[in-house]
């Protein structure tokens, strides 16, 4: 069974991979950081949404939050 630490590790790896893939076509180290700066807002929104709905953050929810990290980047490329 996967623990929260594994999901955090996967999230950090996913963010680094997204950053690396965005830095190449944008030819900049700063622009991917600006684009990825919206990721924390999405995470906060997901946690608040779970809290408002009275739902616990499950493993499936954590998978969704990790996938959420790629949403702002796919819209920009």
Tally of structural domains, the chain:
1
Structural domain span for residue 67: 4-76
Cα separation, 18 vs 35, in Å, equals: 11
- Which pLDDT tens digit goes with each residue over 8-55? 898 899 889 989 998 999 999 999 998 888 888 988 999 999 999 999
The answer to whether 65 and 43 have CB atoms below 8 angstroms apart is yes
- pLDDT for the residue 38: 86
**pLDDT class for 59, splitting at 50, 70, 90?**
confident
- Which pLDDT tens digit goes with each residue over 60-76? 998 888 788 776 666 55
- pLDDT for the residue 16: 92
Say what the pTM is. Answer: 0.69
């Amino acid at each position: 069974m996967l623990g929260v630490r594994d999901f955090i590790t996967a999230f950090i790896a996913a963010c680094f991979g997204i950053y690396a893939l965005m830095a190449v076509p944008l030819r900049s180290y700063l622009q991917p950081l600006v684009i990825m700066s919206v990721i924390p807002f999405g995470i906060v929104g997901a946690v608040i949404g779970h809290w408002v709905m009275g739902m616990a953050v499950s493993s499936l929810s954590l998978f969704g939050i990790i996938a959420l990290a790629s949403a702002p980047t796919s819209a920009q490329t």
